Amino acid sequence: MLTNILVPALGLILLTFVIGLIHTIASVNLMGKGKDWEESGIPIEPYKDAPLHLKIIKNNISNIFEFSVIFYFLIGVIIFIEIESTFLLICAWLYLLFRAIHSIVHICFNNTAARGAIWIFSQTALLLLFLGTAYYVLSS
């Protein structure tokens, strides 16, 4: 069971890399489109004048890091303390699932209402993961 809890964490890391790759491709795609670039290869004011789709992807990268640090910490605690819990495993998978759906909606559709609802579901899964982990830590 302990190795199973690591899979959603690895999935979230993979999702982060995929979003980073999408951002890199979108950024590189702009290089040949008349943008002003410094000699170092850094765009001049890259996000102020960036197209909306690039700003959305960059925003999603920020979003994926905001609460995920809590997720990674909790997975580390679960593994370190050797907590065996189907409930916590389900919460971890739900968090990954909702984060992935959130990123798809954010990048592809940018529907704020749908994205907000999905975010609430992901936060609920994370909160339940925290509460379950805290329960095991405090009751042992």
Q: How many CB atoms lie within 10 A of CB 130?
A: 17
Residue 110 or 127, more confident: 127
In the chain, domain spans: 2-139
CA 6 to chain centre: 15
What radius of gyration, in Å, describes the C-alpha atoms of the chain?
18
Q: What is the mean pLDDT of residues 109-131?
A: 96
Question: Topology of domain 2-139, per CATH?
Answer: Four Helix Bundle (Hemerythrin (Met), subunit A) (1.20.120)
Predicted confidence band at 91 (pLDDT cuts at 50, 70, 90)?
A: very high
43, β-bridge pairs = 37
Q: For residue 3, what are its two tokens? A: 């190795």
How do residues 21-72 score in pLDDT, each as one tens digit?
999 888 877 766 666 656 665 655 556 667 888 889 989 999 999 999 999 9
* Contacts of 91 by beta carbon, 8 Å cutoff, 6+ apart: 125, 126, 128, 129, 132
- The string over 17-39, giving b where at least 16 C-beta atoms fall within 10 Å of a residue's C-beta and e elsewhere, is eebeebbeebbeebeeeeeeeee
Give the global pTM: 0.88
On average, the pLDDT of the chain sits at: 89
What is the reported pLDDT for 37? 57
What gap in Å lies between CA 107 and CA 96, rounded to an integer? 16
CA 137 to chain centre: 26
Q: How many CB atoms lie within 10 A of CB 120?
A: 11
